[in-house]
């Protein structure tokens, strides 16, 4: 049963405790990365046979396999994929930024240009559930950013094939190449390249603890989006909220993973108790009841705050991945939200809208990192380059100040470089 607390009686560790991934995986991941770097494709085949229980003849997903997958997916679901992709494109196209030029006169031109990375790698999980939504959320911003080569890896099933819905989503999103590789070995292949898998510039996408650790270890060789932890939802609810709806929304994240976190913060003890009872009714009805039960019992909590403002303050301290504001007039509170990955406003906005359909990205900061990081966006697939131009007259005007600054830092070579053009032209 979910734990219920009065905030005034809680210890800080009760409020802000984070889910422990529970495994020391760094050494195992380091070994996998070393093997992939040393043996390339051979290591990928060996790890796929060992971990995915399938002996592949090729790591590459062919165009014929993609077409077969599209034929196996229901036309109704293909239409939903297309509709969702259109919503995602509409939202992310607003994120496109352009460079700028500052022409200050007197012979100086300053500016910044925006350039997409050449190649992006998308990791799409397999395992207990397949996530075609992740394909759309990761690939579409990359394509909008102008990435020339979008490469995807995802683990095969024991039949050697990829879930048809994932391949259909990749087709809709415009993924350029797909490889049958999962786990830390996929991250290593994307980071360093093999005979078959190209080296990428940025790796994005969620995964298990091994994938997260691999992304951490290859960072610096490539860029990454974030180190994603278990899924989180926090709901701030007023006393007029429906307990059955709140319980269902909490369980929408609890069913992801036994380590997922579902938290309700409310100003009503009556509502808190009703939601606790409703969770007990709904959990046995879920197909993933065992997972949801473990998540709710181990990591779930209901916190009763003094008022809604205090509830929002608690939410800001926790900085959740998903934050639902189940209150009347939710826009009145939006400016008070400072730390959350994505905010769902009002009583008709379940978190599942963001997962699949609305358009904003569902790859979000977890583990309190919303205090300083952002959802996946077009910005993740571009880089900024500055440029500076000075005419001879403009440099001559600035040179003495530059040289004085350099000498202050003890860098006389810098000072010399600012002044030398005068000497060679005299």
Identify the pLDDT of residue 99.
96
219 to 178, 204, 216: CA distances (angstroms): 22, 11, 5
Of 390, 389, 387, 395, give the one whose Cα is nearest residue 420. Answer: 395
Q: What is the chain's pLDDT, residue by residue, as a tens digit (426 residues)?
A: 999 998 888 877 677 665 555 457 899 999 999 999 999 999 999 999 999 999 999 999 999 999 999 999 999 999 999 999 999 999 999 999 999 999 978 899 999 999 999 999 999 998 556 899 999 999 999 999 999 999 999 999 999 999 999 999 999 999 999 999 999 999 999 999 999 999 999 999 998 889 999 999 999 999 999 998 899 999 999 999 999 999 999 999 999 989 999 999 999 999 999 999 999 999 999 999 999 999 999 999 999 999 999 999 999 999 999 999 999 999 999 999 999 999 999 999 999 999 999 999 999 999 999 999 999 999 999 999 999 999 999 999 999 999 999 999 999 999 999 999 987 765
Identify the pLDDT of residue 411.
98
Identify the pLDDT of residue 295.
97
Burial class (CB in 10 A: 0-12, 13-18, 19+), 340: buried
CATH 3.40.50.1980 in the chain, residue ranges: 3-19+229-359, 26-97+118-224
| Cα-based torsion angle of the residue sequence 33, 34, 37, 41 in order, rounded to the nearest 10 degrees | -70
Q: How many CA atoms lie within 13 A of 244 on its CB side?
A: 1
**Gap between the Cα atoms of 299 and 262, Å rounded:** 7
Identify the pLDDT of residue 9.
80
Cα 374–chain centre separation:
8
Please check whether the domain covering 26-97+118-224 is classified as CATH 3.30.470.20.
Answer: no
Instruction: Give 119's strand partners.
Output: 149
**Gap between the Cα atoms of 302 and 168, Å rounded:** 39
Q: Going by C-beta distance under 8 Å and a sequence separation of 6 or more, which residues neighbour residue 55?
A: 45, 48, 49, 160
Structure tokens at 389: 């131009």
Identify the pLDDT of residue 75.
97
Strand order across the beta sheet in which 261-266 lies: 3-6, 301-304, 261-266, 232-237, 322-326, 342-345
Are 369 and 319 contacting, i.e. CB atoms less than 8 angstroms apart? Answer: yes
Identify the pLDDT of residue 22.
47
**Gap between the Cα atoms of 25 and 18, Å rounded:** 18
**Gap between the Cα atoms of 354 and 253, Å rounded:** 12
Its pTM stands at 0.92
Instruction: Give 303's strand partners.
Output: 5, 265
Cα 174–chain centre separation:
19
3-class DSSP state of 2:
coil
Q: Which residue among the candidates 213, 232, 278, 321 is catalytic per the annotation?
A: 321
The set of long-range contacts for 129-132, using a CB threshold of 8 Å and a minimum separation of 24, is 129/256, 130/163, 130/165, 130/166, 131/166, 132/81, 132/163, 132/165, 132/166, 132/168, 132/169
**Secondary structure (H, E, C), 329-362:** CCHHHHCCCCCCCEEEECCCCCHHHHHHCCCCCC
Q: Is 362 a catalytic residue?
A: no
Q: Is 255 a catalytic residue?
A: no
Q: 224-253: b or e for each residue (b if 16 or more CB lie within 10 Å)?
A: bbbbbbbbbbbbbbbeebebebbbbbbbbb
**Gap between the Cα atoms of 271 and 264, Å rounded:** 10
| Cα-based torsion angle of the residue sequence 344, 347, 353, 358 in order, rounded to the nearest 10 degrees | -70
Strand order across the beta sheet in which 100-105 lies: 100-105, 108-116, 382-390
Q: Which residue among the candidates 256, 322, 351, 362 is catalytic per the annotation?
A: 322
**Gap between the Cα atoms of 407 and 227, Å rounded:** 42
Could you say which architecture CATH assigns to the domain 3-19+229-359?
Answer: 3-Layer(aba) Sandwich (3.40)
Gyration radius from the chain CA atoms: 25
Structure tokens at 386: 């500055």
């Amino acid at each position: 049963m979910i734990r219920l607390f009065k905030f005034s009686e809680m210890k800080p560790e009760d409020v802000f405790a984070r889910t422990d991934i529970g495994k020391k995986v760094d050494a195992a991941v380091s070994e996998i990365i070393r093997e992939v770097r040393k043996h390339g494709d051979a290591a990928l085949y060996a790890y796929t046979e060992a971990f995915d229980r399938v002996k592949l003849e090729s790591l590459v997903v062919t165009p014929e396999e993609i077409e077969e997958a599209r034929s196996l997916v229901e036309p109704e679901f293909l239409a939903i994929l297309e509709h969702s992709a259109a919503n995602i494109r509409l939202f992310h196209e607003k994120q496109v930024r352009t460079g700028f030029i500052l022409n200050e006169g007197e012979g100086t031109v300053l500016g910044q240009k925006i350039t997409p990375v050449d190649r992006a790698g998308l990791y799409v999980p397999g395992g207990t559930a397949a996530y075609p939504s992740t394909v759309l959320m990761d690939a579409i911003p990359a394509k909008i950013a102008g990435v020339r080569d979008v490469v995807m890896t995802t683990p095969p099933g024991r039949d050697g094939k990829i879930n048809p819905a994932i391949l259909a989503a990749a087709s809709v999103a415009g993924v350029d190449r797909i490889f049958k590789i999962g786990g830390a070995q996929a991250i290593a292949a994307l980071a360093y390249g093999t005979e078959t898998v190209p080296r990428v510039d940025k790796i994005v996408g969620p995964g298990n603890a091994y994938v997260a650790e691999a992304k951490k270890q290859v960072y610096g060789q490539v860029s990454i989006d974030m180190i994603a932890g278990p899924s989180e939802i926090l709901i701030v609810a007023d006393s007029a909220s429906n307990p059955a709806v709140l319980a269902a929304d909490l369980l929408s994240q609890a069913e992801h993973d036994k380590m997922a976190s579902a938290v309700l913060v409310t100003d009503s003890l009556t509502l808190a108790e009703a939601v606790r009872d409703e969770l007990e009714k709904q959990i046995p009805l879920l197909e993933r009841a065992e997972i949801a039960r473990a998540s709710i019992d181990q990591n779930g909590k209901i916190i009763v705050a003094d008022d809604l403002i205090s509830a929002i303050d608690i939410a800001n301290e926790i900085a959740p991945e998903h934050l639902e504001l189940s209150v009347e007039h939710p826009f009145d509170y939006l400016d008070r939200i400072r730390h959350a990955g994505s905010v769902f406003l009002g009583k008709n906005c379940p978190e599942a809208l963001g997962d699949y359909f609305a358009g904003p990205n569902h790859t979000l900061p977890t583990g309190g990192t919303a205090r300083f990081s952002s959802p996946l966006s077009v910005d993740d697939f571009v880089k900024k380059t500055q440029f500076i131009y000075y005419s001879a007259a403009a440099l001559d005007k600035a040179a003495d100040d530059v040289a004085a600054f350099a000498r202050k830092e003890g860098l006389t070579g810098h000072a010399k470089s600012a002044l030398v053009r005068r000497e060679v032209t005299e």
